[in-house]
A and B are shown apart, each in its own frame.
Chain A
Amino acid sequence: MRTWLFTVSINIAKKRGIKDRRDTDAEIAALAGGTVDPALFRGPDEEWPGDWKNGKEYPRAFPETPEGSVLADEPVAVARAQLDRLPDRQRIVVTLRDMLGFESGEVCEMLEISAANQRVLLHRGRAAVRAVLESYLGVGP
């Protein structure tokens, strides 16, 4: 499966024109910005603007799920469902990196994207999955 997907991913990426858009670092940073609801941070007129409204209370640690029980499979199903909802570019990168265990260098080569662009796609994809897991686990804002 891994070898098969390696080949397929190369081809679909090329077909869809997933190319390095040659964004500058600043553009990439701006693109990556905003994966967390800005309402969770203190506003410009508050003390410590840009910090969590209450960092002692939120974000909270994910509760441990019991290993080996049926329950332990549920977060995986939740993560998979969100993976399916990601935009294609994020979905392909997250699938290759986190699900199939490819290294960042391999993914950059396969998709012909820069390391920075790969990180943005991975970050945005993981952030979206993190948010649904947080909500599923009952520790959301």
Chain B
Amino acid sequence: MTDDWMTCKVLVELVTAYSEDALDRDTRARFEAHLEKCDGCRNYLEQFGVTARTLGRIRDEQLDPAFRAKLLAAFRDRSRSNSY
């Protein structure tokens, strides 16, 4: 492969930036050139998509009660300290 080859180790750290369309043109081109040749990285990118969609299937009522309580407590503290 060429000097321009993006390694798998680098690519895996850029999948979120890629999916958010936040890579510059050159980096995006190298990312896509890599994907064309690498089954493992295509699978990795797809796994990230499945992961995000799986997280999207968590329902509000499944939110950890302690986390929800922590958020709510902070909200109450904040409300109390505000006089308006």
Contact B64 A36 (CB under 8 A): no
The bracket for how many chain B residues form the interface is 35 or more
CB distance from B59 to the nearest CB of A (A): 8
CB distance from B53 to the nearest CB of A (A): 8
Chain B 3-33 interface mask (CB, 8 Å, partner A; 1/0): 0000111101101110010100000000000
Residues of A within 8 A of B13 (CB): 29, 32-36, 123
Task: Select B47's contact among A7, A38, A61, A79, beta carbons within 8 Å.
Answer: A61
B54 contacts A by Cβ under 8 Å: yes
Known: A55-B38, A91-B67. A79 touches B9 (CB 8 A): no
List residues of A (29-87) whose CB comes within 8 Å of B's CBs.
29, 32-36, 38, 41, 48-52, 54-62, 75-76, 79-80, 83-84
Contact A8 B40 (CB under 8 A): no
A59 to B48, CA, bound (A): 11
Contact B55 A83 (CB under 8 A): yes
Contact B16 A48 (CB under 8 A): no
Contact B55 A94 (CB under 8 A): yes
Interface centre among B46, B62, B77, by most A CB within 10 Å? B62
5 residue pairs A–B, Cβ–Cβ below 8 Å: A12-B74, A50-B8, A54-B40, A59-B43, A95-B63
Going nearest first, the 3 A-B pairs with the smallest beta carbon separation are A50-B7, A55-B40, A98-B55
A residues with CB within 8 A of B: 1, 5, 7-9, 11-12, 14-16, 29, 32-36, 38, 41, 48-52, 54-62, 75-76, 79-80, 83-84, 91, 94-95, 97-99, 101, 104, 115-116, 119, 122-123, 126-127, 129-130, 133-134
